[in-house]
Chain A
């Protein structure tokens, strides 16, 4: 199933946030969206996921979702969005409560999602008892449980420390390895973008327009090799040079706002 941004523009009151953004996320593909602060990355993700209606243009789907997908477009949130009154297991079970799954199937789905995210031993814990990294793992397990076609990830690692980020990045690489799931990955962090994405959509400063679309010329498994590090660093440098001037302007704009 492809996810298409079709000439999307959006404004909040008098503020133009996005201007004529178009691109396609093909089935199983990981597309990162980068750009200066305030360029509309998260707004774009909300529009793609159906949580916000664009002022112009549309988010569209092409093709059928994978068999058994309960929620083809599934978000992983920056702030985890876990229900604090529910345990880890109840949080993962929450999106499954109103589906057609039998109790046995539901149990199997929950067990599988917890196992894949290393949370089996923490199923009875409450979010307040977990570290930030573990909380985001719960968010990922919850997303995996509905078998998404496309994961919509809104800076999923930005609230975490660098070591936890590194560990979760390895988890993402592992989970996306078989190509059964695509992703739109919004991030400020260029290192995350070049490590995870097949393509990177670079947005300009507000109102965000597609400034460049960059293809990463390596598979994700190749990127883990020691000799790939320098190539990834070069790619990261090229991306930074693309957005540096606009990032400085955007930062000054924020400071003067």
Chain B
């Protein structure tokens, strides 16, 4: 049954709540009798807490508790590891010992009756440390790269090493070659909403109103940390004020909020300060990479070597797919990738929008542009000459791949033909103009998910999944899927998410929410229709009475015998007869056979134009066009907005974002929204996002590949390549700064 709701550019169903201030985010759930907890963060980057003198602050007005490692309860910290946690290592156990592992680690919490009093007391708490000098720079001497253990395991999605052919030999004998190094700065997610948790205990049951992209994992993890049954923890998070990966894991502040609430016997609100958002809640790791390309004079790749390393903490091995795309992006007989980690005295990094691919493809695509110039070939043409027929790393066909179509559409919309090839050949007055291009890619994942659908007497349907919506429009797109599957209007579907007692969903990240949750909702809608048909065929008053339920079809929410014209009972009428809502729950996941047979990825081509002031080195992106093959687009209007938003994130990565650590103590020196630069309104040029027609019958029943990550991925290399075209200068570090191009 198709009503055409999927694919319609509908406005978001949660728009009204968000423009009127009634959408409630974690810190908005004020509780009766609530008190306030403030974290005290370590001011040394490595060492031990030797003394904490809280006598002065304990007598300050309104102070209820000062909790440190000395008086904190010993928590169970039972074994818990989800796929979102590093497979190797153990999470930070908070306030369980005197060790300081990185700058900003929580060393105490102060609880008071008002926020101002808690903040004041927290700032006045006297802590003495025995400090050592941390190592926070991966380029410092003695930082030895290690092989990430998890990436050597069978079936891992990240490969420590991979190779085909003889890449080193082929590189040595290649007619054209380049061998370059890339350095991408640490970035912090910095969503507008700080991490926040309101915790309230009732006996041994805990409710957490908490910012989370993965409520069922937060539930399970907190239960494990406190050693209580999973069912005793409820996590509620109907809205997320942006996250980009930072709320995938459950960070120490959630534990601290729950600990404080139990300690003081009242509901506790704990919100991280913006500064604390740079300490304990993950970051895109700084990466160091080497890409070597060898090619024939016609541009055909003969060798591709991609080595990279990412920083991680001393206590966990965070891995991401830094080098994966180099295996399948282009056709090349001789390829080697190597991925390593550099443990430092920092908090564990975490996935940030386009994790792995955003950094790895930057290096690959900058190298491809450089190769194009080494061979005097148009950069788009170079990609065409290296377009593979299959995924040569996995030696299997793509379920669909529209990269060349993306280049067609993108080139056309951008006006690539008007570009002159030579660097420094285009000007607008005194400004140097550059146009650059890059490929983008991100895997089309799908994870197991479940959904519940309940048909009600008024003809409406309730749909429940423990999914999340950090902004892309999960509420809207899932409502569309359910409406289409059930033949109902959008108004008749009430979609709910963000509660851990709903049927479980995977983490809201990795661009797999539509594929995973959407497929589960589709399955649950089919199940509830089957259940409704079973009821209809045993009802004597029904026109389909006595018909085999498989013979019942649903048209616009009404049952009829297949082929009949007369409409039968509606869902609402069946529910009325049944006397209770008709409900079904179903799960879905990817057929493992499909994954064995096909390589599944989204692809895109990104074009950017920059203007560089030759006198002062300022770089502005003037316009950008992205064309993407992402399978079916459920809501083009929201998808376009999500996509241009990702492109803006890529502008930040290319030109602004960088968390700077003081090498003396590991302190992030720009932990402030005015100093950690992100794009503001005036930075943003005309942006276009196009989705090429792509039908993928394999990837999942909805045919969707996901969009959130790939939207960011190609932007930074397109900009870097445009900067080269404008200035003639290759910049292989991110962000590209004024001083990088000043000498032009």
Partners in one complex: no
Give the interface of B toward A (CB within 8 A). none
Interface set of A (CB-CB < 8 Å, partner B): none
